[in-house]
Every structure is written in structure tokens, then in C-alpha cells.
Structure 1
Amino acid sequence: MRHFFGLTFTTLLLTTAFTLSAQNRPFEFGLKAGLNRSSLALNNDLPSAKFGFNIGLTATANFSKNFFLQSGLSLSMKGAKIEGKAPIGFPGWALVAGQDAQLISNQLYLQAPVYLGYKIALTPGTKLVLSAGPYVAYGLGGKTKLTGDIIYGDMIDHGTIEEQTFGNRGLQRLDLGIGTGIGVDFGQTVVGFTYEVGLRDIRPQSDTYFPFYVSSYKNRNASLFVDYKF
């Protein structure tokens, strides 16, 4: 009987220690996925939003019960959908899309954020999570397509032109920006919202090639996400 009580007591101690450790783990890893609603800032003009997805892994360092630092690596689909009349090309040889034109820019990024965050207790088992910080992203691929009436000087042609989004004649691959987020921590799962503002002008460095814009070209992205901790 004494051995039984001893084993029971030891089990309770281990269970309690494991529970406390799980609640105050210095490091956590997770799987994060969400829905993007992205666009581009073009000379202070914001085109129509384009929907995409993001998925990746997160790594969190917990400094205390409230403060944490989170990073990770994810694949994120961004871009923009532009409709109507807009100048395309470079000075001296501009192409103009007709009123029925539609341009869809697709961008696939490998992205790594570094967010500093703070948790505020709401109810037992739930916390409000606030975070912000920089991100760096590298363009892996994607295509940009224009369909509609395209005016070449005094000629009009209706059709579709498609080009690689990134590359020698496309957008610059490196993107830098800042983001902020808000969410609710349910213990093992965090559900939230982030908004990113690209700070780097990623327009082509060489002669702008159709269908890329000559104006300032910066990413914008809003995302709903779920982060599941292992």
C-alpha cells in the first residue's frame, strides 16, 4: 500500500510539473495557415484586392507569461487585381489598357517575420495577443496577366499578354516591410488577424516591361490565420 501511495504521489508530481511546463514552455513550435487579401500601393493608389493563401511553420520564444518573440517561415500568395484604364509601360512608350482591361498580378513569396508580442488575460484559458515587427520576403514565382483592349500608339488590339512576375524584366524579388497582428490565444490554438505594409519599392530596376507599372510598387496584405502549437 505504501508503494502504491508513493507511486500515486510521484505520478501527481510529474503530472503537475508537466502541466506547468506546458503552460510556461520557453519555446513553442506551430503550424500556421490563413487567407490573404493582398493588393499593391501604386503612387498612393490602391488597386482591387486579390485573395490568396499562406501556410508555414512558427517558432516562439516565451520570455515570460506575457512577452514573446515569434518568427517562422511560410509560403504566402500575394498580388493585386487591377481593372479599368491605367497606364502601363515606361516613359516615351506607354501602353494604355482600355476600359475593359483586367490585370492580375500573382506573387508567391517565401516569407519570414519577426514579431514581438504581448498577451493579456481575458478569461481563464484565453488571452488577447498583440504583436508587431518587421518581415522579409523573397519572390519565388508567379505570373502577371493583362486581358483587354490594349492601345499601341494609334493601334488597338484585344487580347491577353502574360509575363513572369519576377525576373530580369519583372518585379524585384526581395521585399521588406512591417506588420502588426491581433488575435485570441486559446492555449494550443491562436486565431487572429495581421496586416502587412511593404516598405520597399519592388518595381523593375531595368526598363519597365509590359505589363509592369512605372509607379512605386509596394505590397499590402491583410490575413486571417490559425496558428496551432505542437
Structure 2
Amino acid sequence: MKKLIMGIAMLVAYANSNAQFYLQGGLNLANITKTNDGHTEKNNMLASFNAGFMGRFGLSKTVDLESGLLLTGHGSKAESYFNGGADYIKSTFNPLYVELPLNLVLSIPMEKNTGVFFNAGPYIAVGVGGKSKTDSKFGPLTSSSNSSIKFSNDDPFTSQQEDAAYNKLKRFDYGINAGGGFRFEHLILKVNYGMGLAKINSTESNNSVNEKNKYRTLSFSVGIPLN
């Protein structure tokens, strides 16, 4: 046991000595799944953002462990038209989450402190805010409403429904990230795809019954190294 603890401590110390920290910001193209098999048909991507602080902890010359905290936007735009397009319902919701990713990064070094990398790993997130908007038109009648997104405290890993309501989202989300990019001496360019595994509506407790109502988010980000 002592040898195991010493080994872990040495690995952590080595990783910290080879750590690289950077600020990250970029564009999110967010959507949610609509079909049983996990497609986003009849929904439109919503432009949002990601921003935060990340760090890479070198395990070897080509392998890093990456983590940090990101404020990231999810959501979707849904539009339904009636009477040949004369009437409609347009709904947009853009929840914000604080996300903690944990990625394994594989780097392929190139010339002059540049390289290509690939990353994959899980994430967990907690909802902290956001807005929703609905516009509708039926004949001469139009309406528009805006509201702040509410979150329930439902545990995503249980089959029970805590504090469930139709006008709320689950506060906790989790899923898998996968992506890649280019590393330059003073710049990091990243593309990432986030696949949520938890149903987002607070009334839905069984995450495996189908693949509806789960986040799908494509991100394009820029990282600025701090050291």
C-alpha cells in the first residue's frame, strides 16, 4: 500500500512539473436529440459559447491528462409551422452549465513546438442559469414570452425523480467528450464534440429507455497558454 501511495504521489508530482495552463474560449453549436436512436431531426443548432480555465498535466512526451472548469452553453432551437407556413411556434432555450471535463490527450509532435492532438474523456456539469424564449403566431394573434431556466435537483444516476417539473431541466448532466486540434507555441486550436448521456428534462428518470432529450454540442475553441 505504501508503495502504491508513493507511486501515485510521484506521478502527480511529475505531472504538475510538466503542467501547462491555458485560458479557453469559443463557439458552441448546441442541439438536443429528438429521435429514439439519438438524432437531432427537426431541431436547429443554437449558437452559444464556452469559456474557462484548463490545464494539461504531462504524463509523458505524448500523453497528457487534461481538466479544468468551463462555463458552457447548451440548448436548441425548434420551429414548427402550420397552414403553409403562415402560423408557427418558435422555441429557443439556452441553459448554461459549469462543466468539469477529464480528457486523455494524445499528442503528435511536429516541427518548431507545434503538434496535432486528439482528446477523449468524460465530463460532469451543473446547471447555473440560462434563458428560454417562445414566439408564436396563429392567424392575427401573436405572442412572445421570455423566462429564466429553472433547474431541479434530480440525481441523474437514480431512477427516482426528485423535485421534478415540466418547466425545469435537470441540474446535473454528464457525458463524453471527443475531439482534437492543433497546438502552436502560443496558441491552441480545438474542436470538440460533447455527447450527453443524461436526459435533460426533470420529469425523465430512465436515461437508457431511448436517446431522446440529450445534449449534443459541437465546439470550436481557442486556447491561450499562460506558461
TM-score by length of 2: 0.74
2:173 aligned to which of 172, 175, 193: 175
Find the aligned partners of 1:134 and 1:99 in 2 and give their Cα distance: 42
1:90-105 equivalent positions in 2, closer than 5 A: 99-105=87-93
1:165 aligned to which of 149, 154, 157: 149
Judging changes above 3 Å, is the alpha-carbon distance between structure 1 residues 185 and 25 closer, same or farther for their aligned structure 2 residues?
farther
**2:219 corresponds to which letter in structure 1?**
S
Please state whether the residue corresponding to 2:150 is helix, strand or coil: coil
> 1:171 Cα shift?
0.9
2:48 aligned to which of 43, 52, 55: 52
Unpaired runs of 5+ residues, structure 1, are 1-23, 87-97, 207-214
Q: Name the residue aligned to 2:18.
A: 26
Structure 1 runs of 4+ with >3 Å offset? 161-164
Larger-gyration structure (1/2): 1
TM-score by length of 1: 0.73
Please state whether the residue corresponding to 1:137 is helix, strand or coil: strand
> 1:150 Cα shift?
6.5
Contact 2:48/2:94, CA 8 A, preserved across alignment = no
Contact 1:164/1:170, CA 8 A, preserved across alignment = no
Contact 2:24/2:224, CA 8 A, preserved across alignment = yes
Q: Name the residue aligned to 2:208.
A: none
1:224 aligned to which of 210, 217, 220: 220
Query: What do you get for the CA RMSD once the two structures are aligned?
Result: 2.4
Please state whether the residue corresponding to 1:125 is helix, strand or coil: coil
Find the aligned partners of 2:194 and 2:62 in 1 and give their Cα distance: 23
Structure 1 position 145 matched with structure 2 position 133: yes
Find the aligned partners of 2:113 and 2:146 in 1 and give their Cα distance: 50
Pairs aligned (count): 184
Find the aligned partners of 2:201 and 2:26 in 1 and give their Cα distance: 27
Find the aligned partners of 2:88 and 2:39 in 1 and give their Cα distance: 19
Unpaired runs of 5+ residues, structure 2, are 1-15, 152-164, 205-210
Judging changes above 3 Å, is the alpha-carbon distance between structure 1 residues 81 and 183 closer, same or farther for their aligned structure 2 residues?
same
Q: Deviations over 1:147-172 (max 9, x none)?
A: 11379xxxx95312334323353111
Q: Name the residue aligned to 1:61.
A: 57
1:172-211 equivalent positions in 2, closer than 5 A: 172-205=170-203
